[in-house]
Copies of this chain bind each other. A is one copy, B any other.
Amino acid sequence: MSADDVRLGINELIASYADCIDDDRLEEWPDFFVDDCRYLVTDRASHEAGLKHGIIYCASRGMLVDRVTSMRRVLMFEAHRYRHLVGPPRLLKIDDRAAETRANFVIARIMHSGETSLFATGRYLDRIDVSDTSYRFIERLVVLDSQKIDTLLVIPL
């Protein structure tokens, strides 16, 4: 695989991840991760302080599946949707097995009433498995700029 193909594959992974959430196809969300993954939503101050836990913390693909299941069970998932806007990802490091990237994001939240607001901003810090043809996240850190995140953080970011 050429460097360009790797880059395209990474872009596609990041974009289709956002579409999956924005389209409310949350059952497919865990498939973007390897089994032995790490998914963390935290804020900038906690991240810089080296804290390993955050607002949402999942240490395996199974935990992601559990999260979606319980979310669907409480049946509040149609109350709002997100719209992700993810900037062009920067490729920081790459070898045959994994790539490290970062990308800025802005997420708008659209309530069922139609009310739209700027919900969250921050950056994705990713480690991506590129050893197989279908790329997946080994680690996805969602570092929010603000520590004042709405209590209504149900849907993954």
Contact = CB atoms under 8 A, between A and B. Distances in A.
Interface in A124-148: 145-148
Stoichiometry, copies per complex? 3
A83 B11 contact: no
Contact of A146 (B106, B110, B145): B110
B83 A147 contact: no
A116 B146 contact: yes
A96 interface: no
A146 B114 contact: yes
A108 B145 contact: yes
A33 interface: no
- Counting from the closest, the 3 A-B pairs by CB-CB distance are A114-B148, A83-B121, A114-B146
